[in-house]
Structure 1
Amino acid sequence: MFALGVALVPIGLVETWTDTPWTLERWWHLAPLAVLCALMAVRRGRPLTALGVGVLVFVAEGFFGGSLASLLVFIELVHAAGRYGRGRIADRLAHVIVAVIAAVGVLTLVATRDLRVAIMAALTVFAVLGTSYWWGESAKQQADLVEAERARAEDLARMAALREEQARRGEREAMAGEIHDALSGNLAAITIHAEAGLANPEVAPQALQVVRTTSKQAMGELRSMLAVLRPDGGPAMPPSNLEDAVDAARGRGLEIDDRYEPALLGDLPPQVAHAAYRVVQESLTNVERHCPGGQAELVVKRDGDLTITVDSPCGVGPRSDGGYGLTSMSERVTSLGGVFEAGPHDGGWRVHAVIPLDSGEVVA
């Protein structure tokens, strides 16, 4: 821009306003032009400061006629103030420009008594200040809109990634619960009967038979879970027949006093039936761990909710699984909107679960 000013001076495109009290040699107009061009370097970082200093330089040069090059640079400074200006001063700049345009029109009318001249003066100032400012302000609003859309897209991407991570975590926790419930009870039973067979050769054949049956059952449940994990495995649920859990525990030597009608459990929603199966399976497994050869009482009621109660005369000793079984049962029941309780009761141990029957659409 300074080079343009140097080119315009020899042509004589200075003294834009000829009706001024003073005049200068045309080459003197390069000094204010140089200052205005220097302000261009900071118009993005400090647009309001650049405009403020630019106004002083431009008005001062105007008393000596001004120059076309300085006018072009000043227009760019006004545009930069609209484009990059921020804060309360920038927000009020539009009002200042409107006030300047009105003041120029009024002062011109007072000085010339000619309405047409006053209107032309106001329109000229509007062309210099108004259009350049609103052009910059429009560009700023467009840039802000683009930035807002970019930030929104980033937020949506972060939320999607978070939901995906939560889904993965939920799947991992669900699979960990399935593996624990399916295998830990069977492995515990295998350990108990293997130790009994080693300690007493007379019961070794019976213990080995239990180990064999329990191992086959564990393998069957593991295959069922692996089938669900395969891409073509479908949404099938692992085994959830409550009677199977009771029969398996009986086969391992646990005496069970069961009080329920199997016919009442035949049409349970899949998620409810599966949760009930795991609660009964894990509860009976805990009885086997802490009360080998003992007894358990199982009561299942259906009246609007499915209520499961497992009582054992033995208390609970140190947990070999870190208490994960109780945590898994609690998570299964509460995820379906139910209530789970486990703790000492009448000198023994009680597990009590209430599962709403209308929670069948909820995925455990």
Structure 2
Amino acid sequence: MHQDTAGTGSRWRRWSDDGPRRDLVDAVVILALGALLLAVGLVDVTPDDLRPLGAPPAGGHLVLLAVGCVLVALKRRAPLVALAAGTALVVLDLAWGGSLALLLVGWDLLFAATLWVSPRARTVLWTLAGTVCVVGAVLAAEATRDLRVLVYAAIQLGALLLVPMWWADNVRQKTALADAERERAEAAARTAALERRRAADAARLAAADRHEAVQAERAAMARDLHDVIAGHLSTIAIHAGGALAARPDPVRDRGALEQVRVSAVESLTEMRAMIELLRADAPAEPVTAPGRLAGLHRLVAQAAGAGADVALDVDPGALDPPSSAAVEQAVHRIAQEALTNAAKHAPGQPVAVRLDAPDGGLVLRVRNPLAPGPVPPADPLLRAGTGLVTMAERAEALGGSFRAGPRDGTWHVRAALPRPAAADARTVPGGEDVRPARPAEDHA
């Protein structure tokens, strides 16, 4: 039932929309209404002395109505031709006494012509219609010598000729305004869509730049870990080769095997961290040695050599026992990035760097007062915009946390990282192998 109703509504919209089908509907309606007017006798609208052709033949008015309705159905193809033919039919009908049925045809054709023709043709139509109204009223007044007839004739002719034309002009203007408003709305929608697309493209480009920078940094970290693992494997190979080349000695061989085990466990620890950081499609870059905690003094010295006022305070417990290479490298790189940011955004301000080892972990704090006045913007080519993101990812990749931001006029950077042991085995005096508890158990 719903589908039938929808289909009926769709068919009605096709017939009621403005177009050739609508013209055919208008013709049928005018034919039916005109036939009804003729049937009730609404004819002979002109006086007897103004009928040059006398009485019409039987069915003459109906034939003229049928021809006029054909013109109404075809008016869209040639409005001026249809109006000229319709005017001839109305004049002929008036010569037979006239009828309201043909006046309906004339109104519709005059309305359509005024609505669809060019501005120049519309001006000509208005001129002709106004002339007919004035001349007709004057002739009627002259014939009757009555001023009231002049007014009546002018009103009647204006109603017959000027009202449909005025209506058509009004519809034309409203249609033009509606079209202009629709075009303006469509243009605004297209502009908004373009702006949204441009903003989305800019966001994607920015995200791609950030992603590329972060991935490049991760790849560099992974290559640094590769150096550490290569060093451990080289140690394993050297001790194993020395033990195989020398004569059997239980004490020496046990010590070599212990060292091999220590290096192997450290390699596995570093390999686990490297797997999380590797990036297959990273561009080739020079391999550099990873930074360690012992290098913090060198970072501070480099910053001081560049003119910064940097104070370093390291808890002795943070260096003994040593941490894994991944953790020490992360602390080293976070401190390096924090010092770089302080030099860029708060030049000349003192910087305090502190490394603590609470509860078996490592906590790095970097603080510097905010610049009191406006700071000259850094060179855009030297700003990657990923410093804080990279520091956070370094800490979080190893199970730690990272915070950075202003507080009480001071910029605070805090990175907390867990501290797994550098090896899972230790050698105690007497050559006994002692296996410590796992880091998670030590930290509990």
With structure 2 as the length reference, what TM-score do the two structures score?
A: 0.46
Residue 183 (structure 2) aligns with: 151
What are the Cα deviations for residues 152-195 of structure 1, in whole angstroms up to 9, with x where unaligned?
22222222221111111111111222222343245246547847
d(CA) in 2 for partners of 1:45, 1:130? 23
Residue 340 (structure 2) aligns with: 243
What are the Cα deviations for residues 41-60 of structure 1, in whole angstroms up to 9, with x where unaligned?
13345433322221122123
Residue 136 (structure 2) aligns with: 104
Residue 37 (structure 1) aligns with: 69
d(CA) in 2 for partners of 1:78, 1:70? 12
d(CA) in 1 for partners of 2:339, 2:120? 71
d(CA) in 2 for partners of 1:85, 1:218? 83
Instruction: Say if 2:290 and 2:329, in contact at 8 Å, map to a contact too.
Output: no
Residue 212 (structure 1) aligns with: 326
Listed as ranges, the matches of 1:193-212 within 5 Å are: 194=226, 207-209=289-291, 212=326
CA change 1:32–1:277 in 2 (3 A) is same
What are the Cα deviations for residues 193-233 of structure 1, in whole angstroms up to 9, with x where unaligned?
8479859959x99835578379748998xxxxxxxxxxxxx
d(CA) in 2 for partners of 1:215, 1:98? 96
* Structure 2: 5+ residue stretches without partners: 1-29, 236-266, 271-287, 293-324, 351-369, 388-444
Post-superposition offset of 1:123: 1.6
Residue 41 (structure 2) aligns with: 12
d(CA) in 2 for partners of 1:180, 1:269? 31
Post-superposition offset of 1:37: 1.0
d(CA) in 2 for partners of 1:121, 1:277? 89
CA change 1:48–1:196 in 2 (3 A) is farther
1:3 corresponds, among 23, 32, 38, to 32
d(CA) in 2 for partners of 1:94, 1:51? 13
Correspondence 1:21 to 2:126: no
What are the Cα deviations for residues 218-266 of structure 1, in whole angstroms up to 9, with x where unaligned?
998xxxxxxxxxxxxxxxxxx98671599xxxxxxxxxxx9x9544994
Correspondence 1:79 to 2:90: no
Instruction: Say if 1:36 and 1:57, in contact at 8 Å, map to a contact too.
Output: yes
Residue 235 (structure 1) aligns with: none
Residue 141 (structure 1) aligns with: 173
Correspondence 1:67 to 2:99: yes
State the superposition RMSD in angstroms: 4.3
Q: 3-state DSSP class of the match of 1:66?
A: coil
What are the Cα deviations for residues 273-302 of structure 1, in whole angstroms up to 9, with x where unaligned?
5947526999xxxxxxxxxxxxxxxxxxxx
CA change 1:44–1:216 in 2 (3 A) is farther
d(CA) in 1 for partners of 2:69, 2:332? 83
* Structure number with bigger Rg: 2
Correspondence 1:278 to 2:383: yes
Structure 2 letter corresponding to 1:212: A
d(CA) in 2 for partners of 1:77, 1:12? 23
Post-superposition offset of 1:271: 11
CA change 1:154–1:280 in 2 (3 A) is closer
Post-superposition offset of 1:71: 1.0
Post-superposition offset of 1:69: 0.7
Instruction: Say if 2:64 and 2:93, in contact at 8 Å, map to a contact too.
Output: yes
How many residues of Structure 1 are paired with residues of Structure 2 in the alignment?
251
Post-superposition offset of 1:26: 4.6
Instruction: Say if 2:133 and 2:154, in contact at 8 Å, map to a contact too.
Output: yes
d(CA) in 1 for partners of 2:90, 2:332? 90
Runs of 4+ in 1 over 6 A off after TM superposition: 217-220, 268-271
Q: 3-state DSSP class of the match of 1:38?
A: helix
d(CA) in 2 for partners of 1:277, 1:180? 15
Post-superposition offset of 1:128: 0.6
d(CA) in 2 for partners of 1:214, 1:274? 31
| More divergent stretch after superposition (179-188 vs 129-138) | 179-188
What are the Cα deviations for residues 124-148 of structure 1, in whole angstroms up to 9, with x where unaligned?
1101111121122212222222222
CA change 1:177–1:103 in 2 (3 A) is same
What are the Cα deviations for residues 302-334 of structure 1, in whole angstroms up to 9, with x where unaligned?
xxxxxxxxxxxxxxxxxxxxxxxxxxxxxxxxx
Instruction: Say if 1:189 and 1:214, in contact at 8 Å, map to a contact too.
Output: no
Correspondence 1:94 to 2:126: yes
